[in-house]
Structure 1
Amino acid sequence: MSISADQRKQVKGQGFLSNKDNVHFSARVVTGNGVLTARQLKNLSEAAEKYADGRISFTSRMTVEVPGIPFENIAAFQEHIAQEGMMTGGTGPKVRPVVACKGTVCIYGNVDTQELAAEIHRRFYEGYRQVILPHKFKISVGGCPNNCAKPELNDIGIVGQRVPQYDRALCKGCPKCPVIAACPMNACAMKEGIMEIVWEICNNCGLCIGKCHLNAIPEGEIGYKITLGGRWGKHTRIGSPIKDPACRFQPYAIFNREEALNIVEGTILLFKEKGLPGERLSTTIERLGIAVTEKMLISGDLLERKEEILNADQRAESGA
């Protein structure tokens, strides 16, 4: 069967990538947060055996890939996985499937990463599915500063934070301070008989919380660190943490959940409006400057102009 370039382009937009033999395709099956049920896995196994070559692999972004699908089996494959609420996709210059680490169940997780990723998936992968961007747009959610899901190598990286709530008055300067022993960053030190936290070093991992026998650090405030413009591949860039000029301690801003989601949406809108065709967000940020980018995101102006930004292409096409 001869497959035209237009046919390949059409199915690629649906999440089917050409294999090396130019005959078969690999299906990208989207997971909202890297989690599938046993029933969904069983369904995928059946689909791989019936419509492909029986193999299943997993991508670096927590989606499922089923190779060896003949072109004529693509529609049947899609119908089969739809029985368990699954779909193919995750390609093109759009918001890509969201990555989440195991912070939901991991002992180091400061936040429920999979639940947050699921909301981001609903709002920005599904909700922005028809929005064409200058290039692909990747989002990763990490539960702690261990960064297992590489959030700083994504266009938007979200990292769960647990900021120590330190009551300095309760410290008695214990010779063997358990807080100092627990800190992996060496951000805690004894100074003049009192334990001090060097906030410029502290990464809010939360491992010191509850360690003090005198309850000097009983709790930690949950928040989110956000990095912008990370990427991997031929041209690498570590994401820039959004800074907070008003913050006396941390070298970066810490957002609550609602603020973090607004930053995600604002960044997508910024990329839509300011990005040039074919460039990644990292290039857009370098062209605009990180200070200008941060100001645009923090101001809330992009969210206020959401409909204007999203409808700009339609006005251009109509000659408005």
Structure 2
Amino acid sequence: MALTQTDIARVKALGFLRNRGTELFSGRIVPAGGVFTVEELAAAAELAARFGNGKVAPTTRMTLEIVGIPYEQIDQAIAFGEALGLRFGGTGAKVRPVTACKGTTCVFGSYDTQALGREIHQRYYLGWDKVALPHKFKIAVGGCPNSCIKPSLNDFGIEGRRTPEGVRYQIYVGGTWGRHTRVGDPLPRLVEQEEILPLLEKTLLWFRENAFQRERLGAAIDRLGTAALLSALEGDGLPARREAILAAPLKQRP
């Protein structure tokens, strides 16, 4: 069949990216906390055998791509995956799949990174699935300053630190990696674990309210100033206006 741009855009929003030079697609399966169970891996293999070309490719965001799915079988693949507990996704201007290092079991890990990754996955990857953002928003959960998961190169990065008082967390905001690299701004103080999710939500709300459509968080920070974001993160104005911020249209460039 001859695919239209509308066809391609429809399935891209569902987590399916066209394989170059073909009318086949790779579908991204998203894990919770960067971890797949044995049952989920078996289901992914069955998906690849039934609908793809028998290959499964890991991505840098810890998803699995089922390669070579014909366009006309994508809806069937989604339904088959859902029946086995698998979820396709990981594309678009929204919260992207959460990455978490193996700090849960690593000898250098300072806390349970995968548990925090699962909580963020539930509350923000799934919970904000219908929230349109100005651009993609990537979150990384790191267990120590070795920085294997590159927290400082994500829109919101978490890095565990051992201190004399116990584990504290360095938060980075506005990091990007790729054609335009920007190291995230470290918050000026280490934070307690119970502060992480409120800070993440405030960052998301600030991003949605202040960034132009198709502008990454780091670019918005550079345009408006780090002090503007830091001031908003320390106050309670953003959570108080949460519903209004989420209901407002995205800002357009002048």
TM-score range, shorter chain: over 0.9
CA distance in 2, matches of 1:304, 1:154: 26
Partner of 1:289: 225
TM-score (ref. length: structure 2) = 0.96
1:226 aligns with 2:226: no
**Structure 1 residue 9: deviation in Å?**
0.6
Partner of 1:274: 210
Partner of 2:76: 76
Secondary structure at the aligned position of 2:22 is classed as coil
Partner of 2:95: 95
Partner of 1:304: 240
Query: How does 1:2-13 map onto structure 2 within 5 Å?
Result: 2-13=2-13
Name which of 184, 187, 195 aligns with 1:242.
187
**Structure 1 residue 69: deviation in Å?**
0.4
Q: Deviations over 1:4-41 (max 9, x none)?
A: 21111110000000111231000011112111111111
* Contact kept? 1:152, 1:238, Cα under 8 Å: yes
CA distance in 2, matches of 1:119, 1:81: 22
CA distance in 2, matches of 1:79, 1:282: 37
CA distance in 1, matches of 2:171, 2:7: 39
Q: Deviations over 1:99-141 (max 9, x none)?
A: 0000001011101100001111111111111111111000000
Secondary structure at the aligned position of 1:46 is classed as helix
Name which of 192, 198, 204 aligns with 1:262.
198
Q: Deviations over 1:121-178 (max 9, x none)?
A: 111111111111111000000000000000100000000121124xxxxxxxxxxxxx
* Contact kept? 1:98, 1:121, Cα under 8 Å: yes
Larger radius of gyration: 1
* Contact kept? 1:43, 1:80, Cα under 8 Å: no
- Give the aligned CA root-mean-square deviation in angstroms: 1.3
Amino acid in structure 2 at the alignment position of 1:237: R
Secondary structure at the aligned position of 1:157 is classed as strand
The runs of 4+ residues in structure 1 deviating greater than 4 Å are none
CA distance in 1, matches of 2:83, 2:37: 13
CA distance in 1, matches of 2:152, 2:64: 23
Matched residue pairs, number?
251
**Structure 1 residue 300: deviation in Å?**
2.1
Query: How does 1:42-191 map onto structure 2 within 5 Å?
Result: 42-165=42-165
TM-score (ref. length: structure 1) = 0.76
- Determine what percentage of the aligned residue pairs are the same residue: 45
Structure with more of its chain in helix, by fraction:
2
CA distance in 1, matches of 2:179, 2:219: 13
CA distance in 1, matches of 2:230, 2:136: 21
- After superposing the two structures, state which structure 1 stretch, 73-82 or 262-271, moved more: 73-82
CA distance in 2, matches of 1:159, 1:26: 31
**Structure 1 residue 82: deviation in Å?**
1.3
**Structure 1 residue 83: deviation in Å?**
2.3
